[in-house]
Amino acid sequence: MGERGLRVIREFQSYYDDLNGVRRAIVQRIPFAPGERWLDIGTGDGWFALEIERMMAPSVVIGIDLARCEVELARQHARDSNSRFSAFVQMDAYRLGFPSGAFDGIGTFLALQDICLDLPSLHRLFEEANRVLKLGGWFALATTTPEDAETPSQKLALEIYQYIRAGFFTKAQIQAALEQMGFQVEHIEFYPTGVNLDPEEAQAFIRFECDWLERAYGWQNKPDWRAVWAHFEPRIRALGGLEVDAKVTFFLARKVRTHRPTGGV
C-alpha cells in the first residue's frame, strides 16, 4: 500500500500518535544515563523510541518491529523529527539479532498484547529481553492490564482487541513472568490517556485493526471488519463510544540476574 493509502486509513488514529502525552510521561520516569544504548521492542510507528531519544542523550536507540510497513513509518517519523540517534529494523522480538548484554535498557509500549498471545510466549519474550540486556539494565514495559479497566466502555475495548487478535495479561502474571526471567520490578504505575472514540471513529478503528493484519503480515484469514463491526456496533452505540487504550500500566523493572534457559548453558 502506498503512502497515501496509509495516511487516509490512519487518520482516525491521530489519537494514537500522541495518546495525550502518556509516552512522554512514562519516559520521564525512566532513570536514563547519557550515552546509553536502548532497544524498543514492537516499536510500531517508532513514537516510543523517538520519545526515548528526545528525553536522554543516547548513543543509540534501536526500534525493532516484525511488520515492515511499521518500520517504514517509524523511519519516516524519525526523518520528520530530525532524529540523529534512532534506527529502525525489521526483526522478530523472539529472535533478537543482537549479542548478549548489548543494551543498557529496553522499552516496550503497548506492544506486549500484540507480540505475546499466551503465557509461554510471554516467558520467551522476557527470556530474550533478559539475554540482550546488561546486568542492572532497565526494562520499561507499558501495557494494558485487563483487570484495571474501569468502565464498561474500557472493558468492551479490551474485548474487541481480544476478539480480533490480542493477548492480555494481568499485572500478577506480568510481574511473576518478569521475576521468573531474572528481573526485579521496581515500581508499577497507571496512566490514563482519556481516549474515547465516537462510534464512527470506533468503526474506523475496527476496520484498521482487522485490515492491518493483512497489510503487516499478509494474513489472508484475518477477521472481516464488517462482521466484527456488526457484532459490536449495538454495544458501542449504547455506550456512546469506545474507550480504546484508555489506561496504560507501566512496569519499571531491572535485570538482577542472567536467566539461563532450562537445559541451556
Give 43: exposed, middle or buried? Use CB within 10 Å, 0-12, 13-18, 19+.
buried
Rounded Cα distance between 89 and 72, Å, is 9
Between 155 and 165, name the residue whose CB sits nearer to ligand SAM: 165
**Beta-strand pair 247-255/183-192:** antiparallel
Please report how close the Cβ of residue 6 comes to ligand SAM at its closest, in angstroms: 13
Cell of 102: 548489548
Please report how close the Cβ of residue 120 comes to ligand SAM at its closest, in angstroms: 14
**What is the largest distance, in Å, between two alpha-carbon atoms of the chain?**
56
Please report how close the Cβ of residue 212 comes to ligand SAM at its closest, in angstroms: 8
Between 43 and 196, name the residue whose CB sits nearer to ligand SAM: 43
Local structure of residue 81 (DSSP, 8 states): T
Cell of 194: 482519556
Interface positions with ligand SAM (CB under 6 A): 23, 42-45, 47-48, 64-67, 70, 92-94, 109-111, 114-115, 216
Rounded Cα distance between 30 and 26, Å, is 7
Alpha carbon distances (Å) from 243 to 75, 118, 159, 170, 224: 29, 24, 11, 19, 22
Between 88 and 225, name the residue whose CB sits nearer to ligand SAM: 88
Please report how close the Cβ of residue 248 comes to ligand SAM at its closest, in angstroms: 10
Alpha carbon distances (Å) from 108 to 21, 130, 232, 249, 261: 16, 13, 29, 12, 22
Local structure of residue 260 (DSSP, 8 states): -
User: Are the C-beta atoms of residues 145 and 193 closer than 8 Å to each other?
Assistant: no
What residues contact 234, with CB distance under 8 A and at least 6 apart? none
From the list 131, 72, 139, the residue with the least C-alpha distance to 107 is 139
Rounded Cα distance between 255 and 19, Å, is 28
Between 178 and 244, name the residue whose CB sits nearer to ligand SAM: 244
Between 98 and 233, name the residue whose CB sits nearer to ligand SAM: 98
Between 115 and 178, name the residue whose CB sits nearer to ligand SAM: 115
Please report how close the Cβ of residue 71 comes to ligand SAM at its closest, in angstroms: 9
Please report how close the Cβ of residue 86 comes to ligand SAM at its closest, in angstroms: 13
Between 116 and 239, name the residue whose CB sits nearer to ligand SAM: 116
Please report how close the Cβ of residue 69 comes to ligand SAM at its closest, in angstroms: 9
